[in-house]
Amino acid sequence: MWRARYVTAQQLAGFRHYKYSAVDTNPLSVYVMQPIWDKIIKIVPLWIAPNVLTFSGFVMILVNYFLISFYDWDYTASGTSPGLVPTWVWLFSAFTTFCAYTLDSIDGKHARRTQSSSPLGELFDHGLDSWATSIFVLSFFSVCSRDNGKTGVSVYTMYIYLSIVLFNFMCSHWEKYNTGVLFLPWGYDLSQVVLIAAYLLTGAVGVEVWHKPFLFGYYITDILVILLIGFSLFLSFPQTLYNIRRAHLKKTLKNGSLYEGLLPLVSPLLLFILLTVWVVLSPGNILAKQPRLFLWMVGVAFSNVICKVIICQMSSTRPELFHWFLFPLALVVYAAIAGLLGWTEEMALAIFTVSVTAAHVHYGICVGRQLSKHFNIYIFSLKKRVEE
């Protein structure tokens, strides 16, 4: 069951020549957070594998997400029943977010400290990041709640918000696919600090703070959405294009043709086109009826698509034109908008979501095992594997 070979022989060979290259120019990260991480890393025992730190942070994100989901499955608790989510949950959310942020920031430092850096560790880190990105956003939506006619955010705004965040993540790795350098996005550190502050604020004064005008008649959630869109359109995406163009002028681009350079964008863009068609044309208004389930599925599907792009980027191989998730998704979307599913549309979404999640977990475990064997290292231990 766990011996499927998702990574090709060509990709495994390409991993052998991979070298990590990253640039961090974010003042918040360089001058504020990095000195903190440098102090924290000193208390981490040298016998702990870096991937243990990475995975522990991801588990904390999951625990927080499922805890919030228990109290607020349909994103209405903060709007219609402000006291339904206990105060301690918001404080726990701040704690887990800070811990996950910290562990994700020091795992690479710890790998260099223990001289255990490897392509497996980087792929493990970025693969979990691609999934955690959506989970952070989905947890935050419970703070502001869905639109109840007076306050809150509509489920369609939630979908757009999530899509923009995932688009930014995709751009970072598309940029690295073409330049060979990961330009760490400024938005990551800022978003983590904002999340932690939002949870602490909610725990201190209650969710009511999100349902009162904050500045010039705008709510805090409105301001955050405006800032996100502005940051993406006028800073993040232009910076990505600039870095790619600069690499082109310096003749350091990894891909010689426009087709190869744009290839990693095909599957992610088709994924969001199909999902948007389902959202807009769903006869049963599927997003409004099952926002948490639908948005979870969006995050998982995106993560799997991007993980394959990351593998191709690290192994200097060409990604597939169409990810296989697109074909069953297209069938489900067609059946839904054509009215073939009828009242079973929600059931179809549930089945598809469970299937995609199971497939993604299977993919992650198998890829991890495959690379572990290839590099003769354990995922969660610093000991060398005994070759079979």
Residues 6+ apart with CB under 8 A from 209: 201, 202, 220
**pLDDT digits 0-9 by tens, 324-348:** 999 999 999 999 999 999 999 999 9
**What's the count of helices (H) and strands (E) in the chain, helices before strands?**
16, 2
Q: Is 233:164 a contact under the CB 8 Å cutoff? A: no
Closest CA to 145 of 219, 67, 235: 219
pTM over 0.85: yes
Over residues 41-69, the mean pLDDT reads 96
Over residues 88-112, the mean pLDDT reads 95
Quote the pLDDT of residue 80.
62
Q: Is 351:52 a contact under the CB 8 Å cutoff? A: no
**pLDDT digits 0-9 by tens, 274-291:** 999 999 999 999 999 999
Quote the pLDDT of residue 386.
59
- Which DSSP helix (H) or strand (E) runs through 183? strand 182-183
% of the chain exceeding 90 in pLDDT: 72
**Would you place residue 39 in the very low, low, confident or very high pLDDT band (cuts 50, 70, 90)?**
very high
Report d(CA 383, CA 378) in Å as an integer.
7
**pLDDT digits 0-9 by tens, 356-377:** 999 999 999 999 999 999 999 9
Report d(CA 24, CA 40) in Å as an integer.
19
Q: Is 383:19 a contact under the CB 8 Å cutoff? A: no
Q: Is 110:53 a contact under the CB 8 Å cutoff? A: yes
- Which DSSP helix (H) or strand (E) runs through 22? strand 22-23
**pLDDT digits 0-9 by tens, 72-98:** 999 988 776 666 889 999 999 999 999
In degrees to the nearest 10, what's the CA dihedral of 316, 125, 355, 338? -70
Report d(CA 212, CA 113) in Å as an integer.
48
